Structure 1
Amino acid sequence: MGVLFLFQDPLGDDHGLGYLYPQAALYREAGEGFADLLALAGEARDGKLVLRVRLARYPNPLGGPLGFSLAAVVLHLDTAFGGEEELLPGLRTPKGEGWEVAYLLTGFGAEERTPGGEKRAVPARKAGEWVEVETPLPPGPYGYYGAVGLFDPFAPWYLRPVSPQGGPWTLMAPPGSLPAVDLLAQDPKAQAEAYQSGVLRPMRKGGFPLRRESLVAFALGFLSLGLAFLLRR
């Protein structure tokens, strides 16, 4: 077992750009913070990547077997060149940094999804204040996108929709707003920019993007050094 990365997200930023939560008694009684992402971490276990999510609170009025039931977490991973650039309706990746696999986590389980729409269940568990998702992926230099919304079992990404009027079961937000109240970002400014521009930058260990151009430049530089050494001899 080994910690691969830890990305922290600010406390108390689970309101998008001024979203108002639904007014049903279920949400009023739960209070705030249940959709507030605090951290995303990764560990290597038996050669596989385990994703660990930390939320601020875990109310469970619906009796989710994982110990919470009102939030839904969507994690998109950039594991190769290219990929699908739409993360959620109204939210995209930067050019060339699309995703190849996603993991949806709710209090009722976790599933893996592909850009083509394939779905399959993956193991998940509550471990103290963290919720873990076991992936079949080997550890690698991936990019991570994260979004948290209110759980809706009938919505495409299990994220409760928004409307300008709001309602008992609907988030109040301007027309065209994302169905996510929190995005994985290093600070409030970065999150606000993502909501405003519709482009979310991935979190990467070390901050270096996985780009074909970067690898080509590295290879050419290494080749030049090798040729210079041979010519000197």
Structure 2
Amino acid sequence: MLFLYQDPLGDDQGLAYLYPRAALFREAGEGYADLLAVVGEDRGELVLKVRLARYPNPLEGPLGFSLATVVLWLDTGEGGEETLLPGLHTPQGAGWEVAYLLTGFGAERRTPKGEREGVRAWREGDWVALATGLPPGRYGVYGAVGLFDPFAPWYLRPSSPEGGAWTLAAPPGSPPVVDLLAERPLEQVAAYQTGVLKPLRPKGFALKRESLLAFGLGGVSLLLAFLLRRR
């Protein structure tokens, strides 16, 4: 496993978003847009796996769910596109190079230039997996879940201040997603409030930097001790 990012249970309400009022959504209950985890695996290529809290399927999607859309953006290099969605951006200098949209009807790869192509997706028990076509790597990951809309640009049902039968009710300028990939609730709240979502990165990178820093400090200490003994 290259990485495992977990997201808190029951945080699929945005900043007090109200779900659409159509019977389709009311009858589905709760949790179908609640992201619980994202996994990256090395299977000769990078395979991404997503876990949602529930998988109701009133529209009979072939992947076993039909009311949620998951979007994963990967930071695979320097620079990149810093706009994730309307009302949601990356930190400066930490943009994305490739995105994957996952619905109950399949998966799609997109680039910042608007290029798109279908990719293979399948179920593995309670997980939904997709083949990225990328070499295995410990990339930075942004993630979000919204409500499925086959006619919307990112297959995400839009929001408006007043909401409606088929529209999310959310503050003006809010992104059309009800859950953001963040390992702590306060990080998700901050992302909604500021419009900036931080990527999750493999802990090994941070540990490596810390180890190098500790090694450097240790070397400085040894050098100082050597010089002081010579005086």
TM-score by length of 1: 0.88
Q: 1:115 and 2:112 equivalent?
A: yes
Per-residue deviation, residues 147-167 of structure 1 (Å, max 9, x unmatched): 000000111111100011111
Q: Equivalent residue for 1:205?
A: 202
Q: Equivalent residue for 2:167?
A: 170
Distance in 2 between residues matched to 1:208 and 1:194, nearest whole Å: 23
Distance in 2 between residues matched to 1:70 and 1:164, nearest whole Å: 21
Distance in 2 between residues matched to 1:29 and 1:141, nearest whole Å: 39
Shift of 1:126: 1.0
Q: 1:94 and 2:91 equivalent?
A: yes
Alignment counterpart, residue 41 of structure 2, candidates 20, 40, 43: 43
Per-residue deviation, residues 65-106 of structure 1 (Å, max 9, x unmatched): 000000000000000000000011111111111000000000
**1:7 corresponds to which letter in structure 2?**
Y
Q: Equivalent residue for 1:65?
A: 62
**1:125 corresponds to which letter in structure 2?**
W
Count matched residues. 213
Question: CA 1:79–1:72 in structure 2 vs 1: closer, same or farther (change >3 Å)?
Answer: same
Q: Secondary structure at the match of 1:167?
A: coil
2:15–2:189 contact (8 Å) kept in structure 1? yes
Distance in 2 between residues matched to 1:159 and 1:99, nearest whole Å: 19
Give the unaligned 5+ runs of structure 2: 224-231
Alignment counterpart, residue 159 of structure 1, candidates 156, 160, 172: 156
Q: Equivalent residue for 2:31?
A: 33
Q: Secondary structure at the match of 2:2?
A: strand
**1:206 corresponds to which letter in structure 2?**
K
CA-based RMSD: 1.8
2:3–2:138 contact (8 Å) kept in structure 1? no
**2:91 corresponds to which letter in structure 1?**
P
Q: Equivalent residue for 1:79?
A: 76
TM-score by length of 2: 0.88
Distance in 2 between residues matched to 1:107 and 1:207, nearest whole Å: 33
Q: How does 1:187-226 map to 2 (within 5 A)?
A: 187-206=184-203, 208=205
Distance in 2 between residues matched to 1:86 and 1:58, nearest whole Å: 29
2:2–2:138 contact (8 Å) kept in structure 1? no
Distance in 1 between residues matched to 2:25 and 2:88, nearest whole Å: 26
Give the unaligned 5+ runs of structure 1: 229-233
Distance in 2 between residues matched to 1:208 and 1:167, nearest whole Å: 44
**1:149 corresponds to which letter in structure 2?**
G
2:51–2:126 contact (8 Å) kept in structure 1? yes
Q: Secondary structure at the match of 1:196?
A: helix
**2:37 corresponds to which letter in structure 1?**
A
| Consecutive aligned runs of 4 or more in structure 1 exceeding 6 Å deviation | none
Question: CA 1:198–1:169 in structure 2 vs 1: closer, same or farther (change >3 Å)?
Answer: same
Q: 1:184 and 2:186 equivalent?
A: no
